[in-house]
Amino acid sequence: MRPVEATVGPEGAHTDERVLPVTAELLAPPPLVGGLFARPFRALTVGMVSLISLLAFEALAVATAMPTVAQALDGLSLYALAFGGPAAISVVTMVVAGMWSDARGPAAPVRHGVAWFVVGLVIAGSAQSMMQLVIGRVVQGLGSGLLIVALYVVVGRVYPERLHPRVFAAFAGAWVVPSLVGPAIAGLIVQYVGWRWVFLAVPLLALPAALLIRPGLRGISRPAASAAAGPEQADSTGVGAAAPNRIAPGSLRRVGWASGAAVSAALLHLGGQRTGLLAVGLVVVALAGLALCVPRLLPAGVLRAARGLPTVIALRGLAAAAFVGAEVFIPLLLARERQLAPALAGAALAAGAISWSFGSWVQGRIRPPASRATLPRVGLLLMAAGIAAAGPLMLAQAVPVVVGIVAWAVAGLGIGLAYPSISVLTLELSAPQEQGRNSSALQLSDSLSGATVLAFTGALFAAAGQPGPGTYLAGFAVATALALAGGLISGRVNARA
Any alpha helices (H) in 73-195, and if so which ranges? 79-104, 107-125, 130-158, 164-173, 176-192
Residue type, 393: L
Statement: residue 436 has pLDDT above 90: no
Polymer length in residues for the chain = 497
**What's the pLDDT score for residue 24?**
42
C-alpha 487/C-alpha 482 separation (Å) is 9
Statement: residue 342 has pLDDT above 70: no
First to last CA, the chain: 43
Mean pLDDT of 247-252: 65
**What's the pLDDT score for residue 25?**
42
In the 8-state DSSP scheme, what is residue 34?
S
Statement: residue 317 has pLDDT above 90: yes
113-122, 159-168, 215-224: range with highest mean pLDDT: 113-122
**pLDDT, greater one: 236 or 37:** 37
**What's the pLDDT score for residue 347?**
74
Mean pLDDT of 479-493: 94
Statement: residue 98 has pLDDT above 50: yes
pLDDT-derived band of residue 62, with 50, 70 and 90 as boundaries?
confident
pTM of the model as a whole: 0.78
Any alpha helices (H) in 309-434, and if so which ranges? 309-327, 330-337, 342-365, 374-395, 401-428
Mean pLDDT of 179-185: 76
Mean pLDDT of 336-348: 76
The sign of the CA dihedral 475, 63, 166, 244 is positive
Give the tens place of pLDDT for each residue, 99-115: 988 888 899 999 999 99
Domain 304-497: what homologous superfamily?
MFS general substrate transporter like domains (1.20.1250.20)
Statement: residue 120 has pLDDT above 50: yes
Statement: residue 315 has pLDDT above 50: yes
Mean predicted lDDT score pLDDT of the chain: 81
Statement: residue 446 has pLDDT above 70: yes
Judged by average pLDDT, the poorest of 61-75, 126-140, 217-231, 354-368 is 217-231
Name which of 138, 150, 144 is nearest 206 in CA terms. 144
**Rounded alpha-carbon distances, angstroms, from residue 458 to 268, 312, 427:** 10, 28, 34
Mean pLDDT of 442-460: 80
Residue type, 140: Q
**What's the pLDDT score for residue 265?**
81
C-alpha 24/C-alpha 471 separation (Å) is 55
Name the percent of the chain lying above pLDDT 90.
31
**What's the pLDDT score for residue 223?**
58
**Rounded alpha-carbon distances, angstroms, from residue 124 to 50, 63, 120, 214, 321:** 21, 14, 6, 26, 29
C-alpha 271/C-alpha 462 separation (Å) is 11
User: 38-215 has which CATH code?
Assistant: 1.20.1250.20
**What's the pLDDT score for residue 70?**
83
Name which of 214, 234, 173, 269 is nearest 43 in CA terms. 214
pLDDT-derived band of residue 17, with 50, 70 and 90 as boundaries?
very low
Name which of 357, 417, 434 is nearest 383 in CA terms. 417
H/E stretch holding 16 reads strand 14-19
Determine the distance from the C-alpha atom of residue 107 to the mean position of all C-alpha atoms in its chain, rounded to a whole number.
Answer: 19
pLDDT-derived band of residue 57, with 50, 70 and 90 as boundaries?
confident
83-87, 405-409, 439-443: range with highest mean pLDDT: 405-409
pLDDT-derived band of residue 250, with 50, 70 and 90 as boundaries?
low
Mean pLDDT of 359-365: 89
C-alpha 483/C-alpha 412 separation (Å) is 12
For residue 367, give every residue at least 6 positions away whose Cβ sits within 8 Å of its Cβ, in sequence order, or none.
none
Name the percent of the chain lying above pLDDT 70.
83
Q: Report the b/e string of 129-147 with b at 16+ CB within 10 A.
A: ebeebbbbbbbbbbbbbbb
pLDDT-derived band of residue 23, with 50, 70 and 90 as boundaries?
very low
For residue 301, give every residue at least 6 positions away whose Cβ sits within 8 Å of its Cβ, in sequence order, or none.
310
Statement: residue 26 has pLDDT above 60: no
**What's the pLDDT score for residue 222?**
61
**Rounded alpha-carbon distances, angstroms, from residue 411 to 192, 279, 424, 470, 484:** 36, 31, 20, 21, 12
Mean pLDDT of 117-122: 94
